[in-house]
Amino acid sequence: MINDIIKDAEERMSKAVASVEVAFNKIRTGRAHPSLLDPIKVNYYGSESPLNQVANITVEDARTLGVSPWEAKMVPEIEKAIMKSDLGLNPVTTGNLIRIPLPALTEETRRNYAKQAKNEAENGRIAIRNIRRDANSTLKELLKEKEISEDDDRRGQDQVQKVTDKYIAQVDERLAAKEKDLMAI
């Protein structure tokens, strides 16, 4: 019973860490990466579709992304969607290929992105601590119902804390790596 609670908490905490990684992928570093365009939605026959479902996204060089739509008539739609996004990118179209040059990051924008990364990491830590709280309250309820002993409750809470520490350390490692990546010139 206690193992099930801990296993559930561990599963949810790993999802929280994965969520932090996804958030970090959306934060731009100096290099071009196809996941930068993940939040962009394109009007495709009347419905909003993710850009990666209507075009092939490639990295041409360290500072340029290439977008080649699967249908030639989608070029203007994709261009419009990229310009409307809050990413601050200006696409350049040559025939059916859309090139997206990424501007170099200034020191100020690097610091802002680092601040954004810290906020995302803190959100991940908060999610992990909330999962810990849920697991501990479930253990308390089991204790109140007399389904487990006080010793089992104490051991369970210690195990939950160890799992929590492990996943918070993972978030911190990923944050350190992202900050290092952001501050590299």
The helix (H) or strand (E) run that includes residue 60 is: strand 55-61
The reply to whether the predicted model has a pTM over 0.75 is no
pLDDT of residue 30: 66
Q: What is the pLDDT of residue 16?
A: 93
Task: For the beta carbon of residue 126, count every other beta carbon within 10 angstroms.
Answer: 11
The tens digit of pLDDT for each residue in 68-110 reads 988 888 888 888 888 888 777 888 888 888 888 887 778 888 8
Position 67 pLDDT exceeds 80: yes
Question: Domains of the chain (ranges plus CATH)?
Answer: 2-26+106-183 (1.10.132.20), 34-101 (3.30.1360.40)
> What is the predicted pLDDT for the residue at 26?
74
DSSP 13-40: HHHHHHHHHHHHHHS--SS--GGGGTT-
Which tens digits make up the pLDDT trace of 10-29?
Answer: 999 999 999 998 888 777 66
* Long-range CB contacts (within 8 A, 24+) of 94-101: 96/68, 96/69, 96/72, 97/66, 97/67, 97/68, 98/55, 98/66, 98/67, 98/68, 98/69, 99/60, 99/64, 99/65, 99/66, 99/67, 100/32, 100/37, 100/64, 100/65, 100/66, 100/67, 101/63, 101/64
Q: Is the pLDDT of residue 4 over 70?
A: yes
Bridge partners (DSSP) listed for residue 97: 94
3-state secondary structure string, 150-170? Answer: HHHHHHHHHHHHHHHHHHHHH
The pLDDT of residue 185: 62
Q: What is the pLDDT of residue 50?
A: 87
